[in-house]
Structure 1
Amino acid sequence: MTVTQTYRVSAYNTSKLSENKIHDDTVARRFGFSGGLVPGVDVMAYMMHLPVEKWGRNFLERGLIEARFVKPVYDGETAELTAKESGGVLAIELHSRGDLCATGSASLPTTAPRVAIDDYRQVPAVAERKPVGPSSYETGKWLGTIPRDWSGTAATDYLADIRETDPIFAREGLGHPGLLQRVMNKVLVDNAILGPWIHVGSRMQLLSAAKVGDELTARAKVTGNYDKKGHRFVELDALVVANGTTPLAHCWHIAITQPREQAAA
């Protein structure tokens, strides 16, 4: 039997003023977009609403979700999400402006898989970031992040930014898993000075529920660095860790770190 869930959210570009100018209207148009892109990590956060609505805290403790971003989502536009359940798997689609913008899936494993924290090397972020180049993300290289927490008003402000209305986060003092995706972006940002760049997809196996105020870091290995259609892609395999001891999520992250510039459409 197929069961359908729906969710609508007014998209919000949280990164208009960020270092990544792909979120700036003027720069994004130079790359062929209509305006600044809503960050992929926030689009993925919209998608997480549906499995959290279905499975609650169980999903936050051991859920599996993946997302692929097909077309941009723009600030102020309505994002319409559907999730069709079949065989215990939610097939998720996000449409905006009449276009299919993101696809993905979510499921709830019986137990969270065991991931050995010692299998992921802990290294600091670079002491001094340099402009992105061939040595920034060499395949096989280990990367770390500057520790970050979202405590107090930062946690509630984040929920407002992604338009999350599920009460479970405030009621149980939990961190939204979208924050773990932000940490994955930090792997790239904390280790090189990037120009405009684009997050194109992720897969995330949750291992434990994050708590508000956790200090979050990532231990990441570069598993891919290649050119495709003029874009430079980087792939990461990482463990996001709370307070230096608790694995929260095993993540696979794909980004275009150096997009091909093109005339605006």
Structure 2
Amino acid sequence: MTALKPHTVSAYNLAKNSENKMHDDTVARRFGFQGGLVPGVDVFAYMSHMPVAKWGKAFLEHGLMDGRFLKPVYDGETAVVSAADTDTGIAIKVESRGELCAMGHASMSSGTKTISLTDFQDVSVVAKREPVNTSSYEQGKWLGIPPYTLGAQPSLDYLRDVRETDPLYANEKIVHTGMLLRTMNWALMENAILGPWIHVGSTIQYLATASVEDVLTVRAKVTGNYDRKGHKFVELDGLIVANGKTPIAHCRHVAIYQPRETVAA
């Protein structure tokens, strides 16, 4: 395998004030972590720098990427993203504190993937969020989010905060892949009141770029809800849509929505 130039990031916890208190130092320490976790979606954003550097805008139009989060990345620490060529694309890893924190793979799709909007139900968020329970993420249930527009200045702020150095996003006013993935988190958060929870991995098939002025929504189906080692997991199969008509990305999203510490409490 041929090594590519590493991408070094001074990690930043964008979610310190999030409703998800796993990003709060005090709460995260109760779960055995050193401090608040840098969100998985932002670690994924760090990782996505590598395939965009390799393939450019074409990757954001029809590339494929997956990422799994193995160990926390903490605010203020150095995270080194490295990648190496494989027979099918590039293998990506994130290391911090001498530990492997995340790993994934990116490739270019052969041909154009066709997605039908009719295969993904467009639903509204619940009228009133309730504390998460056994029916919040029933298998087969559809989840949505309020329509969302990032905007030009918030996009620039996000690029700064995830230490994105590729000029493509700012020059062409493209929504960063990390922001796209955030909408899958919102599908969980907008439909139930969660305690501390953890995003553990995602796969994205890119279909088109989204403009920072586009109105984005998500059509996400719960495809898995199960216990593993005491944790309660949820899996989503979602489509991010721009302006109600253009598929932007097909995402598979996995999270621990109730860590075993909260289940046992």
Q: TM-score, normalization: structure 1?
A: 0.97
Q: Name 1:170's counterpart in structure 2.
A: 170
> Which structure is richer in relative contact order (CA contacts within 8 A, separation 6 or more)?
1
1:112·1:206 contact (CA, 8 Å) conserved in 2? no
* Alpha-carbon distance in structure 1 between the residues aligned to 2:152 and 2:82: 32
Q: Which runs of 5+ in 2 are unaligned?
A: none
Q: Name 1:32's counterpart in structure 2.
A: 32
Q: Name 1:6's counterpart in structure 2.
A: 6
1:177·1:210 contact (CA, 8 Å) conserved in 2? no
1:46-102 deviations in Å (ceiling 9; x for gaps): 000000001000001011000000000000000011100122410001000000000
* Alpha-carbon distance in structure 1 between the residues aligned to 2:43 and 2:202: 11
* 1:207 aligns to 2:207 (yes or no): yes
Q: How many residues align?
A: 262
Which secondary structure state, in structure 2, belongs to the residue aligned with residue 104 of structure 1? Answer: strand
- Where do 4+ consecutive residues of structure 1 move more than 6 Å? none
Q: What is the 5 A alignment of 1:222-261?
A: 222-261=222-261
Which secondary structure state, in structure 2, belongs to the residue aligned with residue 223 of structure 1? Answer: strand
Q: What is the 5 A alignment of 1:102-121?
A: 102-121=102-121
Q: What is the 5 A alignment of 1:1-265?
A: 2-261=2-261
Which secondary structure state, in structure 2, belongs to the residue aligned with residue 185 of structure 1? Answer: helix
Q: Cα offset for 1:260?
A: 1.7
Which secondary structure state, in structure 2, belongs to the residue aligned with residue 237 of structure 1? Answer: strand
* Alpha-carbon distance in structure 2 between the residues aligned to 1:82 and 1:130: 41
Two-structure CA RMSD over aligned residues (Å):
1.0
The residue type paired with residue 123 of structure 2 is V
Which secondary structure state, in structure 1, belongs to the residue aligned with residue 51 of structure 2? Answer: helix
* Alpha-carbon distance in structure 2 between the residues aligned to 1:112 and 1:190: 32
- Stretch of structure 1 that moved more, 93-102 or 104-113: 104-113
* Alpha-carbon distance in structure 2 between the residues aligned to 1:241 and 1:207: 10
1:181-211 deviations in Å (ceiling 9; x for gaps): 0000000000000000000000000000111
2:203·2:251 contact (CA, 8 Å) conserved in 1? yes
Q: Cα offset for 1:104?
A: 0.2
* Alpha-carbon distance in structure 1 between the residues aligned to 2:252 and 2:200: 11
Which secondary structure state, in structure 1, belongs to the residue aligned with residue 261 of structure 2? Answer: coil
Q: Cα offset for 1:3?
A: 3.9
Q: Cα offset for 1:173?
A: 1.6
* Alpha-carbon distance in structure 2 between the residues aligned to 1:110 and 1:235: 26
- Stretch of structure 1 that moved more, 51-60 or 144-153: 144-153
* Alpha-carbon distance in structure 1 between the residues aligned to 2:179 and 2:164: 12
1:112-156 deviations in Å (ceiling 9; x for gaps): 311111100110011111100011000011111111111021111
1:61·1:112 contact (CA, 8 Å) conserved in 2? no
Percent of matched pairs sharing the same residue: 60
1:219·1:238 contact (CA, 8 Å) conserved in 2? yes
The residue type paired with residue 119 of structure 2 is D
* Alpha-carbon distance in structure 1 between the residues aligned to 2:112 and 2:3: 25
* Alpha-carbon distance in structure 1 between the residues aligned to 2:157 and 2:4: 30
1:30·1:261 contact (CA, 8 Å) conserved in 2? no
* Alpha-carbon distance in structure 1 between the residues aligned to 2:213 and 2:72: 31
